[in-house]
Amino acid sequence: MKNKKLKINSNNLLLIITIVLFVLMYIGGCVVYADKGFTRLQTFLFILIDNAGLICLASGMTCVMLTGGIDISVGSVVAMDCMIIAVGIERWGWGSPVLMLLVLAVGLVFGLVQGWLIAYLKIQPFIVTMAGMFFARGMTAVICTEQVSITSDPFFTKLSSFKIQMPFGIGAYVNKKGIPQIPYVRVSVIVALLVVLAVFLMLRYTRFGRSIYAVGGNQQSATLMGLDVKKVTLKAYVLSSFLASIGGICYCLNTMSGTTTQATGLEMSAISSAVIGGTLLTGGVGNVVGSLFGVLINGTISKLVQTHGQLIGAWANIVTAVLLCFFIVLQAVFVKVKERKKV
């Protein structure tokens, strides 16, 4: 029984460190910037709103990284999805529900092609998804080279601006104009949190979820257990691209536009969030809850820099880089300790 407890604690160590780091960082922000409204519930909710799309991407990235792979095409897929929706509404005259279904279908096909090349042709995931990244970014420019703002679809506009207020006026405050405000979230946040919940339940309670961990832990052992490693890998990449398309819809709801430079570097933010959240680069260890907190840490860093007001945005990248290095070193130590225990 004691050994089981030790095993559970060791597997959750990175997640615990991530959660503690986020709590300390956020409390620090509340102490330092209390006079600038950082203690308000709405500040935290703004972090969720701003990063709703990234949460979806990080959830899909976690699944791929758990198999020992990586997907650097997701940022470009988001840009392509946004452009399809924007141009589809403003120039093709299509309805937003049809376009949202279209981008989800595009995500499935995109993931199917990449997953097949990686799983069945044994091409390196980095090479395949880099090609996917260039293809999606190029297709974004082929669709339209200009920035297209979404203004003519009442349903999509209403969906974007719709506010879901906190029940019972939780966290209510008075703004600078003396007007009472009730904290709120957007629809994109609800979608993102439902994605996290769905992926968490899938990884924890389904055969496919357990297979992902098995494939990432040891492919030979997974094969001996009777698992179809190729099929599991294929499904993981399909899921990643599909969640990237959901993230693209959330991202588009926030920006209400499409442009060729949209979501540049978002795939790196997704990877860093997963790593900071405790997902091993070698696969087999990690969970989507940690990735959620990884996104919150990245969002909090950006919000702290923004709240300070006199720091350039590059400082957020510098701090994220330092944290990323810290967690990579921590992962290396974690793997070494695990190997010694086996011996």
Per-residue pLDDT, 3: 47
Per-residue pLDDT, 11: 60
Report pLDDT digits (tens) over 157-177. Answer: 999 999 999 988 888 888 777
How far apart are the C-alpha atoms of 305 and 299, rounded to whole Å?
A: 10
Per-residue pLDDT, 171: 83
* Number of residues that this document lists for the chain: 343
Report pLDDT digits (tens) over 35-73. Answer: 888 889 999 999 999 999 999 999 999 999 999 999 999
Per-residue pLDDT, 271: 95
Q: What value, to the nearest 5°, has the Cα angle with vertex 271 and ends 142 and 314?
A: 80
Positive or negative: CA dihedral 36, 22, 237, 118: positive
Is 212 within 8 Å of 279 (Cβ atoms)? Answer: no
| Residue owning tokens 């996104």 | 295
Residue 252 tokens read as 């588009």
Backbone φ and ψ of 275, nearest 5°: -65, -45
Per-residue pLDDT, 6: 42
Is 272 within 8 Å of 72 (Cβ atoms)? Answer: no
Per-residue pLDDT, 114: 96
CATH of the domain at 22: 1.10.3470
DSSP letter (8 states) at residue 280: -
Q: Mean pLDDT in runs of 10 for the chain (343 residues)?
A: 46 85 93 87 93 96 94 96 96 94 96 96 95 96 94 94 89 81 93 97 94 90 89 96 96 94 92 92 89 94 84 81 88 76 62
Per-residue pLDDT, 254: 94
How far apart are the C-alpha atoms of 179 and 174, rounded to whole Å?
A: 5
Domain of residue 20 covers 2-342
Nearest to 279 by CA among 13, 7, 6, 5: 13
What contacts 300, CB < 8 A, 6 or more positions away? 22, 25, 26, 29, 47
Number of separate domains in the chain: 1
Per-residue pLDDT, 1: 43
Per-residue pLDDT, 281: 86
